């Protein structure tokens, strides 16, 4: 949840609650941390960076990448509903909650369309939105998109069964997920390919998000599998130009899955780009490589 230098925090009201997002400060207005959706016009192409889900997720996931584009593009990086500094519902989350709030975010801040960069399950949601509302998207850059139940494979893991038990779910969250040890262990052993790339800043940022009041509701909904779906039937329907990037050593969503998903639509989806030696979030693990790939892709914008 750390804020890069030169960026400030704004808020946007949606039907389900307030979304906090980060954008580069404009010198003509006051950088008021409580500003409600800027009222000045920025005609640069919007780049919207959407983080994935997991204990302590937030816009920080893209914070080593998006500052590189602030000079040429209008960068917008939200904490999604239930994550980071955004509003936290006190109930289980459903897929429609994210389809609705992401749509409202784009409608209000990027009505003429945006380049949307998203990862993991959020990238799967974005695919669905790009099918139903293609006018909101100029281009998609997706990192390991998945519905986590793809090709009719059921979503199963030990934690999903554990947190389905009443009272046990919050105990697990408080003792195994939302702790310094829990977050560092997950980043080093499950999210990154190389543990040495995990910094204390990363751990601190994820922990700060995980400890927000009511943060357990979104995290537990994700771990239980409430948000999972089969992405495969949606991939052939994409008409928005799309680039898919995959870490070769990504866990949960192996490279084979990425190839199968991209092969479903050769008309709109470019050949899969694989980054060697990284895991699920190359935007954190090798941000310089991601900046280079994104820059190349943006050069194709018409």
pLDDT digits (tens, 9 = 90+) for 188-223: 999 999 999 999 999 999 999 999 999 999 999 998
pLDDT in tens, 122-138: 999 999 999 999 999 99
Contact criterion met (CB below 8 Å) for 155 and 121: no
Residue 169 clears pLDDT 80, i.e. is over it: no
pTM, to two decimals = 0.93
Residue 159 clears pLDDT 80, i.e. is over it: no
- Bridge partners, residue 118, by sequence: 50, 142
Q: Where are the domains of the chain?
A: 7-298
Residue 18 clears pLDDT 60, i.e. is over it: yes
Rounded to an integer, the average pLDDT of 261-266 is 98
Residue 32 clears pLDDT 70, i.e. is over it: no
Rounded to an integer, the average pLDDT of 150-168 is 71
Pairing of strands 74-78, 242-247: unpaired
Find the helix packing angle between 120-132 and 95-109, rounded to 10°.
60
Contact criterion met (CB below 8 Å) for 239 and 136: no
CA distance 268 to 272: 12
Q: What is the pLDDT of residue 31?
A: 46
pLDDT in tens, 52-106: 998 899 999 999 999 999 999 999 999 999 999 999 999 999 999 999 999 999 9
Q: What is the pLDDT of residue 110?
A: 96
* Ranges 60-64, 157-161, 174-178, 244-248: which has the least confidence: 157-161
Q: How confident is the model at residue 167 (pLDDT cuts 50, 70, 90)?
A: low
CATH topology (fold) of 7-298: Rossmann fold (3.40.50)
């Amino acid at each position: 949840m750390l804020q890069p230098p030169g960026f400030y925090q704004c808020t946007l009201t949606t039907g389900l609650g307030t979304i906090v997002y980060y954008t580069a400060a404009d010198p003509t207005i006051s950088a008021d941390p409580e500003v409600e959706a800027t009222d000045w016009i920025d005609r640069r192409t919007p780049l919207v960076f959407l983080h994935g889900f997991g204990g302590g997720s937030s816009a920080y996931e893209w914070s080593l990448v998006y500052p590189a584009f602030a000079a040429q593009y209008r960068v917008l990086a939200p904490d999604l509903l239930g994550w980071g500094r955004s509003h936290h519902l006190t109930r289980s989350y459903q897929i429609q909650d994210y389809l609705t709030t992401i749509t409202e975010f784009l409608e209000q801040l990027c009505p003429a369309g945006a380049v949307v960069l998203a990862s993991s399950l959020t990238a799967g949601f974005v695919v669905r939105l790009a099918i139903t509302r293609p006018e909101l998207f100029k281009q998609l850059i997706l990192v390991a998109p998945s519905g986590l139940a793809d090709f009719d494979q059921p979503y199963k893991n030990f934690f999903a069964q554990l947190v389905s038990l009443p009272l046990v779910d919050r105990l697990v969250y408080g003792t195994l997920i939302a702790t310094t040890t829990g977050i560092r262990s997950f980043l080093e052993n499950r999210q990154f390919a190389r543990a040495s790339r995990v910094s204390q800043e990363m751990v601190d940022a994820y922990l700060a998000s995980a400890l927000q009041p009511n943060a357990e509701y979104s995290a537990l909904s994700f771990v239980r599998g409430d948000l999972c779906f089969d992405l495969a039937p949606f991939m052939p329907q994409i008409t928005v130009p799309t680039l898919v990037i995959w870490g070769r050593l990504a866990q949960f969503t192996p490279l084979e899955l990425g190839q199968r998903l991209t092969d479903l639509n050769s008309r709109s989806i470019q050949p899969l780009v694989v980054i060697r030696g990284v895991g699920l979030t190359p935007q954190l693990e090798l941000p310089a490589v991601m900046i280079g790939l994104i820059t190349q892709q943006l050069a194709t914008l018409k």
